[in-house]
Amino acid sequence: MLTDERTGGSPRLARRLLWRLARPRLYRIIVLFVLAIVQTVLVAATPWLVSLAIDTGIPAAQASDYWPLAGITAAIMVCAVAIAPLSLLWRQLTGAFGQLVVFDLRTELFAKIQRLPIDFHDRFSSGRVIVRLTTDVESVNTLFGVTLAALVQAGLGVLMTVSAMLLLDAWLAAITLAVLAPLAFFLVWMARRLSEAFVNNRAAIAEATVQVVESLNGARTAHAFRRQKRHDEMFAPLIERARTSGRQIQAVRGAFWTTLELTFSFVTLAVIMVGGSAVANGVLEIGVLAAFTLYISQLVSPLTSLTFILDALQSALTALAKLAEVLEQESSVAEPRHPVALPSPVRGEVVFERVRFGYHAATSGLSESAPAIRDMNLRLEPGQLVAMLGATGAGKSTIAKLIARFYDPTAGRILLDGVDLRHLRDRDLRGAVVMLTQDGFLFAGSVADNIRIAKPGATMAEIEAAATAVGADAFIRALPGGYQTDVRKRGTRLSAGQRQMVAFARAFLANPAVLILDEATSALDIPTERTMQKALRALLAGRTALVIAHRLSTVEIADRVLVVADGRIVDDGTPAEMLAQGTGEFAALYRDGHGLALER
């Protein structure tokens, strides 16, 4: 279940993904942990060595015995020299560790998103996908590369420092811990406040990103209808929410730092007062008191860093939960466990048996009481060219998408050459059924590369033959680079009609047994469409074809016509038979005007 951006996601999913990412790299984590322990021990040893120098080395030197002081000084030097390269090595290893995790995570996430079915993309906008692949993954990078390392260092630092204080003087250590105890309650309060603020902040930023992506995708429409002001109005409250939650985060941080400074001032004052009195009474050595003041200063750094650690930890856990939701999405159009092979050669017979289908209410607004397809029975004969007509929302495109298995029926089954589509491997289905939609989408790259998508190993001769078959060869050769012309993002270098013709060439190169054209000629002018229809007769021979169109001119080449209304087939027959009867939906549509749009 995909949660809204305003929720923090499932902590259980976050922990499970965290463990899954860390488990294959436990040996690296152990190495880093050992390095952290060694580094922390060396840091904690320095104040203890200082106390030895004051209480043992200096008195010995006053008695002309300089060896103890020299030895202690050398030990302090060794600690200082060893800490520097260990710290450098630690930072390099943690950074590399974080990058390794992020590389695997981003690769897995992109592969998962690519393979999720169409209904996922219906519910999950491209803006949200971008947030997952960028902001959320980067939060995980910070978690593994910085946050967890800092948390380990801070925890070990506090543990080693407190242990050393207890070994030096338990009474003075107890006083120190008693004064610091209220900080624990304050940390719990701060963590809760930060968690809420971070969820709000991330949600606002994510929604703002979605808004930006959608505004950019619709830039032409925005300019055409002067919608920029409305976009500004929609964007403003989102960044205002981000600003407000950001101020809350800073306010919590400020309160913590102020409290921390005051607490450590009281701790230092208490230690000096109690320790100084003990030194004056001869029950405590001055070196121990000096070491305690140094240990107090060492506690400041890890406790101060806790604010940043908690910030990053809350952000990363929220991101992990969101990422886990996507990674654990189960496909609604899953690969069969026991696939069935299609007969060879594939004939292209398509059969609907009491098929019922309704879009998810969250994506379409339809409910189970208003299905898009209602108990449909339909047979498309092999090699038959079928035109499908109907008003917008009648269910034409839904039928096409069901044949292409973009969705599975809610009830009933769809057969290809007697095999349920749900029992076919995706590779076999995509090789047998190709659907061409009205947008004629092209990827950035050459014209040849876009046609070759249908058959990655195709030669230039095969590509040119496919383009020639659909009448696209002439305009392609007229381009500045011919077949090597870069069509740019979304094929914007070509006109809508040219993009559609390239998409036609791509579909025909695939040579499927079943070809679905979902209003694929809508972007073509009538002369170009008629030119292509001459090629369609030959190209679709021996191939099952389902053509969805709004022009009667497209129907002229069809062997059979289906009229769809309210998710049902309401008229079925050859164009000549249906016109001869003079009644029925097709005849009514025909009377609306030959060659005009068929929508009513």
The helix (run of H) or strand (run of E) holding residue 591 is: helix 585-591
pLDDT score of 369: 46
Closest among 561, 538, 537, 541 to 549, alpha carbons compared: 561
Whether the bond between 345 and the residue before it is cis, its omega within 30 degrees of 0, is yes
Fold of 11-327: ABC transporter transmembrane region fold (1.20.1560)
* Structure confidence at residue 7 (pLDDT): 55
Q: How many helices (H) and strands (E) does the chain have?
A: 24, 10
Classify strands 419-420 and 385-389 as parallel, antiparallel or unpaired. Answer: unpaired
Of 582, 584, 521, nearest to 552 by C-alpha is 521
Q: Which of 518, 520, 336 is nearest to 427 (CA)?
A: 336
d(CA 209, CA 127): 6
d(CA 4, CA 186): 30
pLDDT of 365 reads 43
Q: Provide Rg for the chain, Cα atoms.
A: 35
What pLDDT is attached to residue 344? 87
Domain pair 11-327 / 383-400+426-591, same fold: no
- The model's pLDDT over 121-134, given as tens digits with 9 standing for 90+, comes to 777 777 778 888 88
Rounded CA-CA distance 599/557 in Å is: 19
pLDDT tens by residue, 463-500: 999 888 888 888 999 999 999 999 888 788 888 778 88
How many CB atoms lie under 10 A from the CB of residue 543?
A: 18
What is the model's pLDDT at position 592?
Answer: 64
The closest alpha carbon to 547, from 324, 357, 387, belongs to 387
How would CATH label the architecture of 383-400+426-591? 3-Layer(aba) Sandwich (3.40)
Res 349: pLDDT: 92
Strand partners, 415: 351, 420
- What parts of the chain have a pLDDT lower than 50? 361-369, 594-600
Q: Over 330-387, what HEC string results? A: CCCCCCCCCCCCCCCCCCCCEEEEEEEECCCHHHHCCCCCCCCEEEEEEEECCCCEEE
What is the predicted pLDDT for the residue at 302? 83
CB 497 within 8 A of CB 525: yes
List the chain domain ranges: 11-327, 383-400+426-591
- C-alpha torsion 209→215→219→220, nearest 10: 150
